[in-house]
Chains A and B, each alone.
Chain A
Amino acid sequence: MTAAAPSPKANMGQPVPRYDAAAKVTGRATYASDMPLDNPAYAFLLTSAIAKGRIDRFDLDDAKRVRGVIEIVTHENAPKLKESKLFSNGGYAGTTIQPLKSADIAHDGQIIAVVVAESYEAAREAANRVKVSYTATAPSASFDSPGTTTAAAKGQNAQFKEDPAVGDFAKAFDAAEVKLTAAYDTPTQHHNPMELFSTSCAWMGDNLVIYEGSQFVYGLKNGVAEQLGIDADKVRVVNPYVGGGFGSRGSMTPRTAIIAGIAKRLGRPIKLVPTRDQGFTITTHRAETRQEIKLGANRDGKLLALRHEGAEVSSRADAYCVGGTKTTTRLYACPNVDSLVSIVRADRNTPGFMRSPPEVPYLFALESAMDALAVKLNMDPVELRRINDTTNEPIGGKPYTSRSLMACFDEAAKAFGWAQRSPQPKSMSDGDWLIGYGCAATCYPTQMGPSAARVRLQRDGRTRVEIAGHEIGTGAYTVIAQTAAERLGVPLEKVAVFMGDSDLPPAPVAGGSNSTASTCSAVMMVCDQIRQRLFKAAMPAQSLTDRAKETVGLGQTPATQAAKGDRPLDIEKAFDALGVGVVEEYGEWKPEGAPLDSFRAMHNGQVRLVGGHAMKDQIAYAFGAEFVEVRVNRFTHEIRCPRLVGAFAAGRIMNPRTARSQLMGGLIWGMSSALLEATEIDERNARYVNDNLADYLVPVNADVAGVEVILLSEQDDRINPVGVKGLGELANVGTNAAICNAIHHATGQRIRKLPVRLENIEV
């Protein structure tokens, strides 16, 4: 075993290499824009240079003269499309601002024209030659701009149902011996997946094929069908590989139906590859937030009162919010809790999910405040968490299905060398560098959704798994193949997995860290259906269900079963008895507590996730603890983070290799979010300024010196059949606070606004 492939502990699968590793490192994996098309035309987008106002006139003469231009589509001649509701209101769209519908402009970088040409180069050149006259009105950019409106999230966002509260916060806070009030700011961020937001559309008669990196092929298929006004069964979305999603490809963006409509009109496949900077405005982003935390505790560190208020910026059109108070009000034992989330409307595009949407901004505030409280109490911050650890969440009193938070703190603290920390700020240094150690808790809700799968087993053991799941780089192919191999007792090499195609059985959106739990539960169930058929054929007399459960359990590899000599069934004999060459089963699985309309919704591309705090008698979260070393240069004030150590417990770990990779990426992203990432907005015109990967800073290799991921063994049989909590979004939650806490330790300075840049340091 290597660092990249940690040895499995109890309740962990094997760290087998990625199913798609060879295809990816050799460049054979095909992404949306790699898909061969028959005689395609190329589209290039033109986006608005103002954030609010209207288009008076296009001057297209120059552009039309470019050789190879086929058509320039503007609001004056765009295909007519039906509206789709926001995903949270029962629709599919990530924004209800539909471009090319009228001359109106609602946000910076809105699509205002599509140039179609015989080549990408001609389309791009012509787009450069289009002249647009606007009448601009002064836009409201963000919190501090005049003209915004603010209102409580509750009542305007269908998915934000309550501001969690319990007890009497005001009274308890008043009476508390130790109090803390602090405000926190988090910036706009953009996902910037490596794969651009490409879309290709090809019609075959009335049938449409869409090649687009998507985290939800069923959602996209149904959404585009709705916009085009055609039967969803005529639309197919294909994307065997997705070059990173991080939430940016979770809901439908306006571009897809537009391209499909133009392709239909021209009777020709169309390929669109937008530029990096267009990606900042034609999809969603993480909204900036402003928050305030109030904590009241007794001298021993017991929390008595907690209030968390957050404001988030959304568009004029849509009341999107992430409302992370649902998590922060439930993380620690505290009898008196209050919270409020509000939405500020500005002239911006509608924000959307970005990796751990609610937890990243809101836990930054809570975990920074916890550290500050520990300092006030003169207490080790780890101990403060221990004192307030709980088995039941305080709002509804529901028990956590399992919770290894303190075990994670203890393991990570040991590996990190927390005991060597001298608690006094500014007390550790190395040459030009002040050293700070900091830590924070991390958590993410366990979620799952209804999923279907088809599995086909051949006499020789060859297995084919079909499921419209998504490989966004997480390892989905790998863990699905492992599940089928283990369940059917066939060698892993014999399992082929087909995903990323809406003609396959539906799976939920690859978001909310639900994929492994949902898809593997469905695949496991369908494999069991096959086993039942084989058992029934081979041993008609026995009680087969029981036998099947007994003899092959999840986590036993075929090899270990063989060694034990209890392989229950000769597959070939069973096939002979059945008299067939292939056994194929289809099944639909839904988690406990899923709504009645689950399966219908699943086929309609509508998300029905259950889990987290919204379960009936319990609450399910994965936990972790993160420790970081930060170095601050005395002279330049440059901030570097050479060491990140995280310990995580997330139920069953299907594959320690892919799990570690997810968590490592999360820690690095968390560091990036704390120290580098922010989309700058020009307040005068509500436009993004640093909309490219040179100016939108993300870490380079030299910034990531040491990352250690510790996987804790945890078993949770109360969440779903595979016992998986999901960990894709677990690691980047705690890092923001851990880093700011470490900066405080290094410099004595408490920074509450992200990202922390060298000009924010005073030493």
Chain B
Amino acid sequence: MRPFSYQRATDPDMAVQALSAAAAANHPLSQAIAQPLAGGTTLIDLMKLDVMRPAAIVDINPLAQAWSAIEPGSDSLRLGALAKMSDVAAHAEIQRNYPVIASSLKLAASAQLRNMATLGGNVMQRTRCSYFRDVSYENCNKRNPGSGCAAMDGVNRMHAVLGTSDQCIATYPGDLAQALIALDAVVEITGRAGTRSIPFAELHKAPGNSPDIETTLQPGELISAFSIQGRWPRSVYLKARDRQSYEFALSSAAIALDVQDGTIRDARVGLGGVATMPWRAREAEALLKGQKFDEALAQRVADAAFADARGRRHNSFKIALGKRVVARALQQAVTMEI
């Protein structure tokens, strides 16, 4: 770890000021010299590994009063960015009306981490690519733009099959984001000019030619809340992983359905563990709408979701696995009791 200054932000203005003042405009957010600190479970790890080297830390935890509310409305939901993963996962109304959110959180990380970690930090967590996290590797385009990609022909079992580029195949590791993207969540962003809102799907960016730029947030901007319109009681999160807990997804599916009289009115399919960013399988969703569910349909939907997938040496299995996970999750969503 390198020395850094530490500042507690007592109100949002101060946080934004502190972050903008220290942030050099020409750095992407991931390398900005000032970083907000929430639970710290990603940030501090990466600082110890010397991957992130901020000179200034702005602790936003004092904003929790204003930014950690869990507010279920009659037909909507608002979640403060500093709400703890564990609190949201345990919330009865979220379990009832947004089970995909509750279980994506409950199946993530460990109890200790969920008690520390916040929703804002969770969606902003960075890839677990081993080469990214090991600075003795020069060649990582995400950490060291233009240097190449050690994972491309290296050990890449955990890497992505969707949304990859020739520059980077790192998986976006989080779980919650698949639920948020599926439910068309809106991200509320607080910056110098006040707040702005964007669809969750516009928060993250595919690696393309600049894998170091991971989101559309600018230095000096903070996520203050997420909101969702409507209720999604018929929704599930299915996660396949190497062990029973405390493990990132090899493949996961966030499914939300609106089924009336056996016909699927609306369908949402988010994919995790397989893509470079939170992933929405819109082509797959289109196949579901207006249809009655059966296994053949589930298979077509799964195939569509992975139509563009490209595997590498150790991760090709994720394509077949991902399809089975989607098909099974759809089945679970259709048959669940609500």
Contacts and interface: CB of A to CB of B under 8 A. Distances in A.
Given A128-B2, A636-B324, A682 B154 contact: yes
Q: Interface residue tally of chain A, by bracket?
A: 20 to 34
A697 B154 CA distance: 19
B245 A702 contact: yes
Given A689-B130, A699-B243, A128 B327 contact: no
Contact of B321 (A121, A636, A680, A690): A636
Nearest to A689: B155
B172 to A, nearest CB: 16
B1 interface: yes
B128 A695 contact: yes
Most buried by B among A277, A638, A701: A638
B136 interface: yes
Contacts of B240: 633, 636-638, 758
Contacts of A758: 240, 242, 250, 317, 321
A684 interface: yes
A694 B2 CA distance: 23
Contact of B243 (A49, A128, A277, A700): A700
Interface string B160-181: 0000000000000000000000
Given A128-B50, A680-B155, A695-B128, A638 B241 contact: yes
Interface in A688-741: 689-690, 694-695, 697, 699-703
Interface string B236-251: 0010111111110011
A260 B136 CA distance: 27
A128 B247 CA distance: 29
A699 B241 CA distance: 12
A258 B240 CA distance: 46
B194 interface: no
Main SS of chain B's interface residues? Answer: loop
Given A128-B2, A636-B328, A703-B244, A759 B155 contact: no
Interface in B225-272: 238, 240-247, 250-251
Contacts of A124: 1
A695 B130 contact: yes
A125 B321 CA distance: 42
A407 B224 CA distance: 65
A302 interface: no
Most buried by B among A684, A701, A757, A759: A759
Most buried by A among B135, B136, B241: B136
A690 B128 CA distance: 11
B155 to A, nearest CB: 4
Given A640-B244, A689-B130, A635 B327 contact: yes
B154 A757 contact: no
Contact of A635 (B1, B158, B241, B328): B328
Interface in A636-666: 636-638, 640
Contacts of A694: 128
Given A636-B328, A676-B242, A699-B243, A682 B321 contact: no
Nearest to B133: A692
Interface in B116-170: 128, 130-131, 134-137, 153-155, 157-158
Given A635-B325, A636-B321, A702 B128 contact: no
B281 to A, nearest CB: 18
A277 B134 CA distance: 10
A470 B251 CA distance: 44
B130 A697 contact: no
Contacts of A757: 242
Contacts of B50: 128
A638 B2 CA distance: 41
Main SS of chain A's interface residues? Answer: loop
Given A695-B130, A759-B317, A125 B242 contact: no
A640 B243 CA distance: 8
Interface in A163-181: none
Interface in B170-218: none
Contact of A637 (B2, B245, B321): B321
Most buried by B among A635, A640, A699, A758: A635
Contacts of B154: 682, 684, 689
A680 B243 CA distance: 17
Contacts of B251: 636
Most buried by A among B158, B242, B321: B242
B242 A700 contact: no
Interface in A576-614: none
A636 B3 CA distance: 45
Nearest to A47: B136
A697 B247 contact: yes
Contacts of B158: 695
A504 B157 CA distance: 50
Given A684-B154, A689-B155, A695-B128, A702 B244 contact: yes
Interface string B294-338: 000000000000000000000001000100110110000000000
Given A636-B240, A640-B244, A690 B1 contact: no
Contacts of B238: 636
Contacts of A633: 240
A700 B128 CA distance: 19
Interface in A246-268: none
A280 B100 CA distance: 38
Nearest to B328: A635
A125 B240 CA distance: 38
A278 to B, nearest CB: 11
A132 B135 CA distance: 13
A627 B293 CA distance: 42
Nearest to A50: B136
Contacts of A681: 155
Most buried by B among A636, A640, A758: A636
Interface string B64-103: 0000000000000000000000000000000000000000
A443 to B, nearest CB: 28
B324 A697 contact: no
B128 A703 contact: no
A680 B313 CA distance: 14
A635 B325 CA distance: 7
A640 B241 CA distance: 11
Given A700-B244, A700-B246, A636 B155 contact: no
Contacts of B134: 277
A689 B131 CA distance: 8
A419 B153 CA distance: 49
A725 to B, nearest CB: 33
B12 to A, nearest CB: 31
Nearest to B315: A759
B222 to A, nearest CB: 27
Nearest to B131: A689
Nearest to B327: A635
Contacts of B130: 689-690, 695
Given A128-B2, A702-B243, A49 B325 contact: no
Nearest to B250: A758
Contacts of A702: 243-246
Contacts of A49: 136-137
Interface in A740-763: 757-759
Contact of A684 (B153, B246, B247): B153
Contacts of A635: 324-325, 327-328
A466 B321 CA distance: 58
21 contacts: A124-B1, A128-B135, A432-B328, A633-B240, A635-B324, A635-B328, A636-B238, A636-B240, A636-B321, A638-B241, A638-B242, A682-B155, A689-B154, A695-B130, A697-B243, A699-B243, A700-B244, A700-B246, A700-B247, A758-B240, A759-B317
Interface of B: 1-3, 50, 110, 128, 130-131, 134-137, 153-155, 157-158, 238, 240-247, 250-251, 317, 321, 324-325, 327-328
- Complex A-B, nearest 4 residue pairs according to Cβ-Cβ distance, in ascending order: A759-B317, A49-B136, A636-B240, A702-B245
Given A121-B1, A690-B130, 4 more contacts: A128-B135, A432-B328, A637-B240, A676-B242
